[in-house]
Chain A
Amino acid sequence: MASSIENNNEKLTLKSSDGEEFLVEKHVALQSTLLQNMLDSDCSSADVIPLPKIDARTLALVLGYCKKHADASSSKQGELNSFDSEFLKDMDMGALFNLVLAANFMEIKGLLDIAAQKIADTIKDKPHQEVREIFHVENDYTPEEEAAVREENRWAFEGFP
């Protein structure tokens, strides 16, 4: 009997890229398809699962999201929606990028969706020069080429420098 209780509260340990360990309840970890697949296969929950691409700060955020969504699966969608928008509210671009990478790696579809959407909402009205910096993209246009692209749908550039 004691062992069945233990099974219900089974926990596993995740290790971030910077060496911090997180003890996570199994039902929370199951929000991640990656972890679910690992648990479904031979991986023992007694082992420490290393996540070498995710730092402690990001992993803490990811697990916060997973916990809320695992615990609230039967509750109202509206409550989760407001949690999601509050969760991302004051996050800076670096944190959002890390979150997108982590959600992609750990295969957490819902988190990937909201973080990608938040980045899209944030860059929506930004000038293209700033977007280059955000995405580390170099301008490979000659001035003439860029002017030609600009001319194509000039109405879209209205209001931008």
Chain B
Amino acid sequence: MGNPELPIHLVIEILSRLPVKTLLHFRRVCKGWLSLISDPYFANLHLYKSQPSLLLAPFKPVGSRESWKLNLVDLHLNPSSPSNDPVELVTTINLPKGPFPYNVVNSCNGLLCLFAPCTDSPISICNPLLGELVTLPRCPSGCPILSFSYVAFGYSPMTDQYKVVRSFYGKGRLTCETEIYTLGEGSWRNMGKIPCMVRNTSFNAFLDGSLHWISDAFSVDFIYCLDFGSEQFRSVPEPSKFGLAKKECWDCMDVVVLRDCLSICDLSEPGHSEVWVMKDYGVKESWSKDFVIDTMMIDGTCLYYEPIMVLEDGQILVFEDERCSILLYEPGSNCLRNVRTLGFSTRYFLGRAHVPSLLSLRNVAEGENFKDYVISIVSLNAGKYARHGATYSSNPLLSQNASLKGALFPSISSSIVPLTTALPTALTSAFSSSTIPAVYNTTTPP
């Protein structure tokens, strides 16, 4: 083959664009690639370049093992490539098996927060693609763990910490309280009284490290957010056109982040999804009604249609949770068409943004109660079924990995590897099998 050899930073440039499944497979190429793909800094670079998938998680799974399955749907931001289909059902994964079926709270950087509703099971965090599970200590408050309580999971880029927040009603249901847990810290902290329960109900409500939600009718303000770095609660202004009558319909509304703007999806009018967008974050006057999806025209029913993502060509992906349909809305022509009805046997799936990632809980949750679990995955494309018990820690090759921190990605905080990154010696030595010269490689004439 007449390919020239590539310097290592260009190999990284290419590999960081591959799906997680392919990368796990390519660890077999050589020891250097195994080191690279297992490195936390490569995981971060890969995460930065990844687009969110749609994770379909059964809502309140009961009994049947079928309902423990997660489905991952690839969403293509640019529908003209590689295929014309903006939606591709990739994989079905089992949730870890506990004494009770888990509910997915939400996903953050490829990690899922799980809990079993209406039981006293502790909250868990897992990376479903790596088959890693961390079980958190039980919450200290005496309050029955999951009745009248909400759980949220998030990441602060500012402090580089993952946190779980549990909010619950205090005595007599007159006040709300919160407990917070930072992964790796080993204990919960009580944050005291908060203005309202932390709700976490849409495809993606994270913006700049803060989770946003619409409060209930009993709260002073309409939209709240929690900064996962500073752990401060704040209120965010709602559209000035939202009067009392509108606010009473809080349970027919959701916040979602579209094109990096905080948006409200208002379903209080039957047959319509009104989408409001706040163009300048925090500026009340910048709220405007962006578009209205006439959902009656699809099938004459009043199902819940939630816009989840704006594609590069301006079309909007819309998710409907009862039949698990994905639709495309074209704002110019006001046209809504069905792309795919996934139609699973279990009704009601939560649709959550999920970025499949290589982040290992061994790194982000060091010191926690860790275990590998058996993954079962059905790849719908291949139509085959594979099952295995992960034995990640037993591989001696991985324990040799010196961290490539700094050497590999000196500016990982800016998350862009400069085009002309000088080659780190640590990494070249990891690639001893393929002798790569230390600077730019001369091209071999074809």
Contacts and interface: CB of A to CB of B under 8 A. Distances in A.
B428 to A, nearest CB: 14
A53 interface: yes
Given A117-B17, A135-B11, A153-B24, A93 B375 contact: no
B411 interface: no
Nearest to A148: B395
A34 B267 CA distance: 52
Given A58-B443, A136-B5, A139-B30, A156 B21 contact: yes
A158 to B, nearest CB: 5
Contact of B29 (A135, A154, A157): A135
Given A109-B419, A141-B30, A148-B395, A104 B440 contact: yes
Contacts of A159: 379, 382, 384
A44 interface: no
B28 A136 contact: no
A137 B10 contact: no
A124 B131 CA distance: 22
B189 interface: no
Q: Chain B contact residues: over half helix, strand or loop, or mixed? A: loop
Interface string B422-446: 0000000000111000001111011
Contacts of B34: 149
Interface stretch (B74-82, B196-204, B333-341): B74-82
Contact of A160 (B4, B13, B19, B25): B25
A154 B26 contact: no
A48 to B, nearest CB: 19
A109 B392 CA distance: 37
**Which residue among B2, B3, B81, B391 has the maximum number of chain A CB atoms within 10 Å of its CB?**
B3
11 contacts: A53-B440, A81-B80, A81-B81, A94-B2, A101-B440, A123-B22, A135-B11, A137-B33, A139-B29, A154-B388, A158-B379
* 3 nearest A-B pairs in the assembled complex, by CB-CB distance: A156-B24, A120-B17, A154-B388
